[in-house]
Structure 1
Amino acid sequence: MSVPVCELTDSREATDALLEVLRGGRWRPGAVGRFLYLAAHRSMRQAARHPDALVQAVVLHGLLFMSARGPGAKRWVVISWSLTVLHLGLLEDRGRLTGADVITLLRGNLPATTLGRSRWSGLLAIALDLADGRLARRQVTVSPFGDYADSLADAAFWIWLVLRYEPSRTVRAAALAAWLVPVVAVTAVGMRRGSMPDRPRPALLRPAAAMQVVVAVRHALRR
């Protein structure tokens, strides 16, 4: 007898089971509806099973919301909070967000802050990325939450930065390709075969790592 999706503790098994619902249903409206229902149900159950992490997410995003400045800043924080709460199941057996997770979420919310709109925001994002990576490597138990949050924070911040501040069309196009192509490719493969593939590794060999330095330095030197 198969275990219901909402009861699966392993996040990869749960993701594969959800994707199989879509593939098995051939993307018919009924299959899409069942996929959305099961995903939402699992997210709510997993949030309830991680009360400490849920409180951390609410407090952190509450502080960010109160300090948010600029057009769309508060909406950005609300979206970040929603994504965080909906993916607490990725913590698996860990009950709390770690220091590395918190730094990752702060980096992803830089566009909603005054610091995010400064000329040094790109270099600050790189520094925060290095800091959370160093903390993550010291953790005894590792969960998929930090890994996926790190990728989403990178994509969200750097795409926002190049679209808002980068004047060169060539650099914008290269940056968008560096962050969007891997995400789209992995998602498309996962949807097609009904299971989530491994993401490209190591991170330093991906084009996005080099683009971070290019975009950050250009942004810092620009008046």
Structure 2
Amino acid sequence: MDRSTRQAARRPRALTELTALHCLLLPLTRTRQDRRWVTVSWTLGALHLGLLERRDRLSAADALTLIRGNLPATTVGASRFAGVLAMASDLVDGRLARRQAAVSPFGDYADSFADAAFWTWLAVRHEPSHTVRAAAIAAWAAPIAAVTAVAIRRGTMPERPRPALLRPAAAMQGVIALRHLLRR
């Protein structure tokens, strides 16, 4: 925690951008629980600014990723188009990061956590199929829990697993987004 606080203090511009982004999200929330979601997102972002490495600010891709991770807490997350919007933002933030050479461990981990937060939330809250919900938890929550447990045990973030051929989470995004969009 002390190291994370020092890393955030070394990046005042990034901390200010992170704070401003989350302050812009707060008016889009509906409940106290939604505001807590945004607050937890800000806290996690602030405690991991050291993962920006040599950068002293958030990239546009980082901001888009953080917005996606907070969609469940906003009025936009209530829309039946939320899954499609999340998929589109995931594609755009990846392209932006590569085009702007703004790929960093911060963005990489934030992308994984944003996907896990959004898609697990969408499946648990809106998916009627127990099987699809269980698959969503297996695709996103289980890997995040495993990486977090290793990080806590080691005191440093491990490389996250990246399956080359089979990407079950990507396939699950399409299934859940389409089912949510078509549900009346």
Normalised by the length of structure 2, the TM-score is 0.92
Out of 151, 172, 176, the position equivalent to 1:211 is 172
d(CA) in 2 for partners of 1:88, 1:116: 26
Residue of structure 2 equivalent to 1:115: 76
Relative distance call for 1:189 and 1:68 in structure 2 (3 A) is closer
The offset of 1:69, in angstroms, is 1.9
Gaps of 5+ in 1: 1-39
Which residue number in structure 2 is paired with residue 53 of structure 1?
Answer: 14
Distance 1:47 1:195, change over 3 A: closer
TM-score w.r.t. the length of structure 1 is: 0.76
Aligned to 1:67: 28
Q: Which runs of 4+ in 1 moved over 6 A?
A: 192-195
Name the stretch that deviates more: 66-75 or 171-180. 66-75
What is the alpha-carbon distance in structure 2 between the residues aligned to residue 193 and residue 87 of structure 1?
Answer: 16
How many residues of Structure 1 are paired with residues of Structure 2 in the alignment? Answer: 184
1:186 and 1:162 mapped to 2: Cα distance? 21
Percent identical pairs in the alignment equals 67
Supply the RMSD in Å over aligned alpha carbons: 1.9
Deviation at 1:181, TM superposition (A): 2.6
Aligned match for 1:146, one of 107, 117, 131: 107
Q: Deviations over 1:168-197 (max 9, x none)?
A: 101101111111232233345556677654
Partner of residue 21, structure 1: none
User: Runs of 5+ in structure 2 lacking a partner?
Assistant: none
What is the letter of the counterpart of residue 112 of structure 1? A
Alpha-carbon contact 1:101-1:132 (below 8 Å) kept? yes
Write out per-residue CA displacement over residues 98-151 of structure 1, whole angstroms, 9 at most, x where no aligned residue. Answer: 000000000001011111111110010000000000001113353210000000
Q: Is the 8 A contact 2:116 2:140 kept in 1?
A: yes
**Closer/same/farther in 2, CA of residues 87 and 192 from structure 1, 3 Å limit:** closer
- Which structure has the greater CA radius of gyration? 1
Q: Are 2:52 and 1:91 equivalent residues in the alignment?
A: yes
Are 1:181 and 2:147 counterparts?
no
Q: Distance in 1 between matches of 2:2 and 2:172?
A: 38
Q: For 1:205, what is the secondary structure of its paired residue?
A: coil
